[in-house]
Structure 1
Amino acid sequence: MRESFLPYGKQWIDDEDIQKVIEVLKSDYLTTGPYIEQFEKDIASFVGTKYAVAFSNGTAALHGACFAADIKEGDEVITSPMTFVASANCVLYQGGKPVFVDVDEMTYNIDPGKIEEKINNSTKAIIPVDFTGQPADLDKIMEIAKENNLIVIEDAAHALGATYKGRKIGSISDMTMFSFHPVKHITSGEGGIITTNNEMYYQKLLQFRSHGITREHDKIKDNHGPWYYEMQFLGYNYRMTDIQAALGSSQLRKIDRFIELRKKYVHLYNEAFSNVEEFTTPFQKQDGDSSWHLYIIRLNLEKLKVNRKAIYEELLQQNIGVNVHYIPVHLQPYYQERGYKQGSCPIAENLYEEIITLPLFPAMTEKDVMDVIRVVKSVISQYRR
């Protein structure tokens, strides 16, 4: 057993990060101030886009993207079931209908070959998910979208710093969302952002995150004076704070180091587990460079005496903070009550029964990694057939 509990993911905050937050606390602005604009510029520069709009969290950012894409009642949006519920809920917020397409057996990303059969006259957009940090098959998805006049909103919550065929994730799709939750590559506490090269989307996103209000005189219909503002549509209070933005910018300066450590630990896992027949290590595509948000093993239950639950519980008892990513969205009670059927995405459903997420975060040490390897091998050998 490991002596202390090791979580599956955790932020890494240093004195530089703390100092940047203190600077904001001593400044004139705590909420909407200059640090937000700076953070947006930093992210846009990092991924190579013209625009970035920061939000209070990743879900809010996805909601904003669905609004900017003009998704409304009666529209359908294709997405993956192997994701957090936000990837589909953002469609529901706009009155649209999520349509789930099964995942690829190897990559666990949405299968482009199955997308076209779900497209009809009501389809408005595709939300591919870069699951675990490995980019989806974006060339094929963008080609399908172009042929069918669809908008691509990429859920890259797992993929900041990843590349696809030499291009940074965040610069390829019509809009891309990144999350800054504490377990992600960098954190702003809570936070999310949309990157885009489309000025129309950019302007709509800015206004949407602040109640649909504008103060820009060239957009105002009836200007009463310099104090005047107009609420032109129903938006939300989804603004990020300067406190969050300052932390995010400070963290971003360390992202190359963070990703390098993630890749190092993945290499150690892969080497150690290469001869273990009782589970499969993550498949790595050759056309993309994952930023490795998650390290997921897939159990071969035919070679084990017990089910996934028993192994999961044993690992927790051994102080290894495992998790499961994710319960397929269409199996959630809320979605089942609205007509989504078990059996509609069999690969995702089978995958869910067999996967376990192992700890992976840059603040781990090599000793932590070796502890995980030792305990996992010990538990697996205990239940080997």
Structure 2
Amino acid sequence: MIPYGRQEITEADIEAVVEVLRSDLITQGSKVPEFERAVTQQVSAKHAVATNSATSALHLACRTLGVGPGDRVWTSPITFVASANCALYCGAQVDFVDIDPNTYNMSVQALEAKLDAAERTGTLPKVVIPVHMCGQSCEMQEIGELAWRYGFFVLEDASHAIGGYYQQKPVGNCHYSDITVFSFHPVKIITTAEGGMAVTNNPGLAQQMELLRSHGITRDPNLFADVQYSTSKTVPRIPDHGPWYYQQIDLGYNYRMTDIQAALGLKQLERLKTYVTKRRKLAYRYDELLADLPFHTPWQNPDTESAWHIYIIRFNLEEIEPNRRKVFDFLRQQGIGVNVHYIPVHTQPYYRKIGFDWGMFPSAEKYYWEAITLPLFPTMTKETQNQVVNALKKIAHKIDRMAHK
């Protein structure tokens, strides 16, 4: 079975991990800060906070931006559920903005209309989370301008997009946002096995995310709360604190990345440009090979250079057979490990229980019924890609015959 995504682990990756395993510190050592610095240099951001997953990074970002009960957070319905769940973890209300049918990203027009209506009813969001679907950046300048006008924070979910560019600048530079989050899951552009990272240009936001990442505990005397002297007769009134001393000054989490993961991430990051270049060439080759077939290939905004995490085609199968399920099953039977990204979040049972339902975001739902994710990964060969395309040609031939009956 050809998978839709696959990591590449080299001998250099393995050696880097083994080196950490043989060292004195396999967590909370030097590799995580080193990985953070390397990512900031790659994406032109000033600060980075590595985490054990992108979900954790999204949660930390929401907490740091002050999201809590009574607040509203908006995101795209076409994303993994974590993009919405991170707000619910904070006790906030979640809502969605329908997608642009060309890019599959949050529609700027739909966002502006929804913000205008929310302003009249006093229900503006505190945070908007645009999702860079497939690795293609959202229209961040327009979203940033709306943030300035309506007064909300922008948290970019760039889980798909490290190595991508917007307006000739790397995704993650945070020029139009407050925080950007990346994912290092194995099927993403680079991997740390599991892992994520939040980047920002705001030192205060970075400091707070670092604090919350590790239980809300600090050893930095500059961050200590005022000393509370004891009134107990059995405890010294003036504490005799030494170098072991720490304080918990907030309620945080254990969201740390290990040095083992960071070592892998550092070696993978060295190949980021190579990986994205290979993905881009494969995507362009799909465009060429599928050009004459009855499928919609991905449209690219000229302001963007996608990182090409995934390659999605859409079928116009409203009037003819086979339907999307039959196409999916046929491709799987041919050894093509296609997938679907994503089931609209608002249609999930949990979200229907809190008030959402089918029919609320029609562009997202239409996209879902038509979309299939094709295999795309850096080690994919032309021969493997030809196998995928030849299977699609068989489907196209059947569609053509059905259309002419």
Tell me which interval the TM-score lies in, with the shorter structure as reference length.
Answer: over 0.9
1:199 aligns with 2:206: no
In structure 1, the partner of 2:305 is 289
Q: 1:240 aligns with which of 212, 232, 257?
A: 257
Q: Which has the larger radius of gyration?
A: 2
What is the SS of the residue equivalent to 1:353?
Answer: helix
Using the size of structure 1 for normalisation, the TM-score is: 0.97
What is the letter of the counterpart of residue 271 of structure 2?
Answer: K
In structure 2, the partner of 1:312 is 328
Q: Deviations over 1:20-79 (max 9, x none)?
A: 001000101112110000000000000001100000001000000001100000100111
Shift of 1:87: 0.3
Distance in structure 1 (CA, Å) of the matches to 2:85 and 2:219: 30
Distance in structure 1 (CA, Å) of the matches to 2:101 and 2:395: 26
In structure 2, the partner of 1:85 is 81
In structure 1, the partner of 2:146 is 144
Distance in structure 2 (CA, Å) of the matches to 1:325 and 1:133: 13
1:6 aligns with 2:10: no
Q: Which runs of 4+ in 1 moved over 4 A?
A: none
Distance in structure 2 (CA, Å) of the matches to 1:72 and 1:225: 36
In structure 2, the partner of 1:132 is 134
Q: 1:63 aligns with which of 37, 56, 59?
A: 59
Q: Tell me the C-alpha RMSD between the 2 structures.
A: 1.1
Shift of 1:303: 6.1
Distance in structure 2 (CA, Å) of the matches to 1:232 and 1:381: 65
Distance in structure 1 (CA, Å) of the matches to 2:280 and 2:320: 29
Across the two proteins, how many residue pairs are aligned to each other? Answer: 380
What is the SS of the residue equivalent to 2:6?
Answer: coil
What is the letter of the counterpart of residue 262 of structure 1?
Answer: R
Q: 1:249 aligns with which of 266, 280, 305?
A: 266
1:268 aligns with 2:285: yes
Distance in structure 1 (CA, Å) of the matches to 2:75 and 2:268: 30
Question: Any unmatched runs of 5+ in structure 2?
Answer: 228-238
What is the letter of the counterpart of residue 77 of structure 1?
Answer: V
Distance in structure 2 (CA, Å) of the matches to 1:302 and 1:164: 34
What is the SS of the residue equivalent to 1:118?
Answer: helix
1:73 aligns with 2:69: yes
Distance in structure 2 (CA, Å) of the matches to 1:195 and 1:304: 46
What is the letter of the counterpart of residue 375 of structure 1?
Answer: A
Q: 1:36 aligns with which of 32, 37, 43?
A: 32
What is the letter of the counterpart of residue 170 of structure 1?
Answer: G
What is the SS of the residue equivalent to 2:390?
Answer: helix
In structure 2, the partner of 1:48 is 44
In structure 2, the partner of 1:110 is 106
Distance in structure 2 (CA, Å) of the matches to 1:348 and 1:152: 21
Distance in structure 1 (CA, Å) of the matches to 2:375 and 2:112: 36
Shift of 1:148: 1.5
Q: 1:259 aligns with which of 276, 283, 296?
A: 276
Distance in structure 2 (CA, Å) of the matches to 1:94 and 1:171: 26
1:321 aligns with 2:337: yes
What is the SS of the residue equivalent to 1:376?
Answer: helix
Q: 1:369 aligns with which of 340, 364, 385?
A: 385
Distance in structure 2 (CA, Å) of the matches to 1:64 and 1:274: 43
Shift of 1:383: 3.9
Shift of 1:157: 0.3
Question: Quick check: 1:311–1:380 contact (8 Å CA) kept in 2?
Answer: no
1:182 aligns with 2:186: yes
What is the letter of the counterpart of residue 269 of structure 1?
Answer: Y
Using the size of structure 2 for normalisation, the TM-score is: 0.92
Distance in structure 2 (CA, Å) of the matches to 1:149 and 1:338: 26
In structure 1, the partner of 2:233 is none
Question: Quick check: 1:78–1:115 contact (8 Å CA) kept in 2?
Answer: no
Distance in structure 2 (CA, Å) of the matches to 1:208 and 1:138: 27
What is the SS of the residue equivalent to 1:78?
Answer: strand
Shift of 1:302: 4.0
What is the letter of the counterpart of residue 208 of structure 2?
Answer: K
Q: Deviations over 1:330-377 (max 9, x none)?
A: 000000011012211000001100000000000111111111111111
In structure 2, the partner of 1:170 is 172
Taking only the aligned residue pairs, the percentage that are identical comes to 47
What is the SS of the residue equivalent to 1:143?
Answer: helix
Is 171-180 or 298-307 further displaced after alignment? 298-307
What is the letter of the counterpart of residue 221 of structure 2?
Answer: H
Shift of 1:203: 0.4
In structure 1, the partner of 2:223 is 219
What is the SS of the residue equivalent to 2:223?
Answer: coil
Shift of 1:167: 1.3
Q: Deviations over 1:1-36 (max 9, x none)?
A: xxxx10000100100101000100010111211000
Question: Any unmatched runs of 5+ in structure 1?
Answer: none
Shift of 1:85: 0.2
Is 223-232 or 361-370 further displaced after alignment? 223-232
Distance in structure 1 (CA, Å) of the matches to 2:222 and 2:160: 38
What is the letter of the counterpart of residue 204 of structure 1?
Answer: Q
